[in-house]
Structure 1
Amino acid sequence: MIVRIMGEGQVKVADSHFIELNKLDDELLAEMESGDTDGFKRTLSALLEAVRRLGEPLPDDSLEPSELILPNEDAALEEVREMLSDDGLIPG
C-alpha cells in the first residue's frame, strides 16, 4: 500500500505490517476520544515512525496514487479528528 505522510512524501508499506500499524491507530483513536493530547502526540509520532521504519520511501518524483494519507507530526488533535473515519486513520 502507498502511504503519504503529509509534507514528507510517499512510502510503500507491505500489507503484512498493517497489524502493527492498526494497533497504533487504535491507540491514537482512543486518545483522541478521551482528549489525551500528550498521548495523542506520542502515539502519532510512534505511528509515523513505524511507517517510516517499515516502509520503503518512494522517489520524490514518483506520482503513485496514495491509498492512505497520514498527517504530519505537527498536526493538532482537532486537525486529525477531521481526517478520521470510523476505523481511525488506517482502515481495517
Structure 2
Amino acid sequence: MIIRIMGEGQYRAPETLCDELNQIDNRIVDLVMEGKVEEFRKELAKLISEIKEKGEAIEAEEILESDIIVPPRDLSFEEAKAIFKGCGIIED
C-alpha cells in the first residue's frame, strides 16, 4: 500500500499496518464529530508517526499513485471536518 503524507512524501506500508491505521483513522473521525480538537491533533500526529516509523520512505524521484492521502500535521480543525467523516480517509 502506498501512502502519501501531504508535504512529507510517500511511504510504502505493509498490509499488516492497515488495520492499525484504520483504527486511528476511525478514532479521528469520532473525535472530529465530538469537537475534541486537542485529542484530534494527537491522533493525527500518531497516524503520521506510525506511517513514518513502520513504512518505508519512497524516494522523491519515484512517483507512484497513492492508495491513501493523509493530510498534513497542521491541518486545521475546520478542514478536518470535511475530510474525517463517514469512514474517514481509510476505507474498511
The TM tier, using the shorter chain, reads: over 0.9
CA distance in 1, matches of 2:65, 2:54: 19
Question: Where in structure 2 are there 5+ consecutive unaligned residues?
Answer: none
Question: What's the offset of the Cα at 1:84?
Answer: 3.7
Indicate the SS of the match to 1:11.
strand
Residue 80 (structure 1) shift: 2.4
Q: Is residue 2:13 matched to residue 1:52?
A: no
Q: Is the 8 A contact 2:12 2:55 kept in 1?
A: yes
Aligned to 1:67: 67
Structure 1 gap ranges (5+): none
**Given the two structures, how large is their TM-score scaled by the length of structure 1?**
0.93
Q: Provide the rounded CA distance (Å) in 1 between the counterparts of 2:83 and 2:27.
A: 16
State the AA in 1 paired with 2:57: P
Deviation at residue 82 of structure 1 after TM alignment? 2.0
Partner residue of 1:36? 36
Taking the TM superposition and a 5 Å limit, the aligned residue runs for 1:7-46 are 7-46=7-46
1:58 partner letter: I
Normalising by structure 2, report the TM-score: 0.93
Q: State the 1:83 CA deviation.
A: 2.5
Count, aligned residues: 92
CA RMSD of aligned residues (A): 1.1
* Contact 2:29–2:85 (8 Å) recurs in 1: no
In the TM superposition, residue 22 of structure 1 has moved relative to its aligned partner by 1.0
Shift in Å at residue 85 of structure 1?
A: 5.4
Once the two structures are superposed, residues 38-87 of structure 1 have per-residue CA deviations (whole angstroms, 9 ceiling, x without a partner) of 00000000011001111000001111011110011000122122234521
